[in-house]
Each structure stands twice: as C-alpha cells, then as structure tokens.
Amino acid sequence: MDLVRIGEPAIVLSTPEAAIELLEKRGNIYSSRPRSVFAGEVAYRSAKGALLPMGTQLRRFRTLMTASLGTVPSKNFRPLEDPETRLMLRDLLQEPNPAKYRGHMQRSVHSVAFCTAYGQRIDRLGAEHLEFYNSVERFFVRFSSLPGVRLVDHLPILSKIPLVSRWFCGEAEEQGDKEERFFRSCMDQAKSAYVNGNAIRASSWFAMERQERFGYTELELALLSGAPYAAGVTTTLGSCETFLLAILLHPHVLERAQKEIDTVVGPERLPDFRDFDTLPYIRAMIKETLRWHPFTPLGIAHATTEDDVYEGMFIPAGSTVMANIYAITRNTEVKIFLAALSIPTNRSFSSFPTPKNTSPSVFLNTTDPLVKNYNMTFGFGRRICPGQHVATDQLFIMMSRILWAFDVKPMKGGPKLTEIHARHGFFGPPVPFPYELVPRSDRVRSLIMEQAALAEEDVRAWKTLDYDL
C-alpha cells in the first residue's frame, strides 16, 4: 500500500503478535520515523523530537525524556499534580456549568505538562495561549503524525527552490517560526528560573545541562525541551474525557469504582497518590479507558531502517509501519469469522473478552501478560511514549478525585449519548458531549473548599509562566 510517500510501502499491523515482534523485538530497525519534509524539515528544521529519525539525535532526545519523565523522575511532578487537581475540583464545584468543565480540567493538565518541560506552572489560560497551543496540535495532527499530505513530502526538491518554496512551504515556515518564538521564550524564562533556583528539574534543565556536550543549537534546545508540553496536554485531557464518556455509558463501572474509593479512602479525605496501589479498580479503569478508545488509534508511524522479512513477507528499508491499536484490542471478529467458516484456530486474536464494552475488571481477572501490563496505547519499543508515567499519574489523580467528589450523570434533557461520541475523526479526543457533575454530599463540598485553600498555599511556591504572546 503506497499511503504515506509515493513509492514507499506502508504496513498496518493488526495483531498483537506482529506489533510486538516488529516494533518491540526488532526495534533496532523499526524505530525510525517516515521522512517528513513539510513538517519535520521545513517547519521544525529537523529539531522536533517526535519526528527525529533513528540516530544520535534521537538517542540524545530519548535520554533527555527518560531523565525528566522516567518511572522515578515522573514522581517529581506529583507535588504539582496534587494541588492542581484540588483546584480543579474547586472550579468544577463552584462553576457547575457543563460548558466550562473542559476548561477547568484543561488548565490543570496544561499546568502539569508545562511543568514537565519547564519546571513551572501555568495559573491561567488566555485565549491567545490556547489558540497558539491548538495550532501546534492541529499542525502535528495534519502534517506530522502521518506525513505525505503535501506535495513537498513527495518532491522534497520543491522546498529548495527559492520563490517556489514559498508556495509549497509557506504555511510550514510560518508555523515553525511561531513555535520557535514561543518555545524559545519559555526556554529563556526557564533558564532564569533555574539560575534563581526556583524551578524543579524538568526536560529543559536536562537539555541545558547537556547543551554543550550535545552541541544543541538554540532552536534544538527550545524544541526538544518543549516536547513534553507539546505532546502531553490533549492526549491526557482527551483520555480523561473518554473516561467520563465511558462511565456515562456504563454506569455499573461508576458504581463499582465509587464503592472501591469509599471503602479504601472514605468520605473524610480526598484520594491521593498514597492510594495508587490500593485502588486496583481505578488503575484498571485507566487501562480500559486507554484501550476502549485510544487517543491515537494508529499510534504514530514508525519507519524501518533495514530490509527485513516477517512470516515470509519482505519489508524493505524505508517502509512506514503503523500498529492499529484499535483493531488489535477488538479483533475477536476475526476468530468468530474463522469459526463460522469452520476453520479451526487456536490463536488468540483478542485477549479482551468484551472488546466493545468497557469492562475494567478484564485487567484484574487475567494472567495474560499482554492484558495485565496493557500499555499499547502509549506506542511501542524504542519510541514508546516517554510521558506514560506522568500521564498515568495524572489520569489516576483526576479520575479518582472526580469519582470521589461527584456523581457523573447524563445531562437532563440532553441528547442520548452513544459510543459514537468517543471518536472525533482519526486522532483525538471525543466529540464534546454534555454531562453533569453532581457533588456527592455536603461534606464533599466543604472538604473540597478546605483543600483548595491549602492548594492555593501549595502552588504559591511554584514559579508561574509569564506569557504574553
């Protein structure tokens, strides 16, 4: 299939066996990215971490990401995730307007993702800031996650011919300049905060520390450091919204989760990170949310760097390879189809017995390691999402606190919700859907307000981004 760049094969993997064998076990040759001229080379001048091909720059970028977002350093952001979600609960309580729910969650998620890049928080989200951020994402989704949309991706020479290049690449140049200005100004602020000792070590700190050794230009320093902020907001927020939709469609899941929280945490305090290990059903809900409607159902395309053969099929170097995560976790149909044709098969095409309905308990009652340790929604092998620990922590604290505080209900008189709401095109969060958050008791209300007052004190210690775009 020639889907991405003319003449280069594109392969979509739809079984877990193939995805794991190729993208993980043979990761040494399956971890590059397809060449992206319009976005990667023109807009970002080869300095965008998520688009780097295999090689030294990628290895260095992944080192930065692991140093700031790995299993252990990801815990450095809990002291901000905690007060930010207490403030979010207050905002959800004080302004019980369903049209504003998204904004309250969004600010909290922006603040934490920004912190993972620059060690500082964001206390408000202006319209201009949001518009800029949305443009970063729109551009990535349209032109980067699957290159080949623009003619210049197929005929790179067009980007080198003066005057002509303006025609074919103007939009990319403009976007690249806009992002460079923003991320450089964040980097400058982060530098001075580090010098004054009032920001925690985030990706920008590790990049600065290694700038000389790695020979980073100012552009590389800015874009590579900013990667967690560029990648960490809509993915996490969209997954939280998918979770809310899932429990609206499956109220028995809400009931069971609240029962677990009431038993383990009780009504006299908010859930916190100490409860992570003792709330298995909530952890299972995170996995099920990510499986049910993955934010990136086809992940981000990988590319091969050497010729290879898989089950007799030749895969040339330079092929684009994608894992269809959505299909992988749902394809019991294949088994049923084979059975209907009386073709015997012992292969497990899906380890998920109820692929279309949400059933978090699948993750609890299994010995299948693929299900137990499910994380395919975060991608594969050497390109696996470096923000997965931060994202899991964020989802845990947001989901457990929302369920502790509120009953999540369909909007009275609102439209009937269906699974269709979960998909907003090829990539992205659910279609906006109406719902209500109803405080579970008066005690909940007063505790939220008490805790928010303490959270205001806690966040005072954090330096805040001063942005005027």
Report the binding-site residues for heme: 385
Q: Tell the smallest beta-carbon distance from residue 383 to ligand HEM (Å).
A: 3
Nearest by Cα to 61 from 389, 386, 322, 390? 386
Asked if 19 and 328 count as a contact pair (C-beta separation under 8 A), the reply is yes
Near ligand HEM by CB under 6 A, which window of 264-272, 292-300, 340-348, 444-452?
292-300
Residue 225 binds ligand HEM, judged by CB under 6 A: no
Determine which residue in the list 15, 225, 236, 304 makes contact with ligand HEM, applying CB under 6 A: 236
Decide if residue 228 touches ligand HEM (CB under 6 A): yes
Q: Which CB sits closer to ligand HEM, 83 or 93?
A: 83
- The residue among 42, 204, 26 whose CA lies nearest residue 116 is 204
**Angle ∠(451,287,365) on CA atoms, nearest 5:** 110
Told to check if 235 binds ligand HEM by CB under 6 A, we report yes
Task: Choose between 168 and 378: whose C-beta lies nearer to ligand HEM.
Answer: 378
Across the strands, what pairs with 337?
none
Which of residues 271 and 387 has its CB atom nearest to ligand HEM in the complex? 387
Judge contact between 397 and 273, C-beta under 8 A: yes
Q: Which is nearer to ligand HEM, 81 or 168 (CB)?
A: 81
Which residue from 36, 85, 116, 258 is in contact with ligand HEM, where contact means CB under 6 A?
116
Q: Which stretch binds ligand HEM (CB under 6 A): 241-249, 296-304, 432-440, 457-465?
A: 296-304
- Residue (104 or 302) nearer to ligand HEM, CB: 302
435 and 409 Cβ atoms separated by less than 8 Å: yes
DSSP 3-state percent helix, strand, coil across the chain (nearest 5): 60, 5, 35
Site for ligand HEM contains 379 (CB under 6 A): yes
- Considering only residues 44 to 83 of the shown chain, the ones binding ligand HEM according to CB under 6 A are 49-50, 62, 65, 69
Distance CA 63, CA 215 (A): 15
> Binders of ligand HEM: how many residues, by CB under 6 A?
30
Looking at beta carbons only, is 138 or 160 nearer to ligand HEM? 138
Residues flagged as binding site? 385
Indicate the SS3 state at residue 204: helix
Contact partners, residue 353, CB within 8 Å, separation at least 6:
332, 359, 362
Interface with ligand HEM (CB under 6 A), residue from 299, 360, 429, 430? 299
Q: Does 93 bind ligand HEM (CB under 6 A)?
A: no
Binding residues for ligand HEM (CB under 6 A)? 49-50, 62, 65, 69, 113, 116, 227-228, 231-232, 235-236, 239, 295-296, 299-300, 302, 377-380, 383-387, 390-391
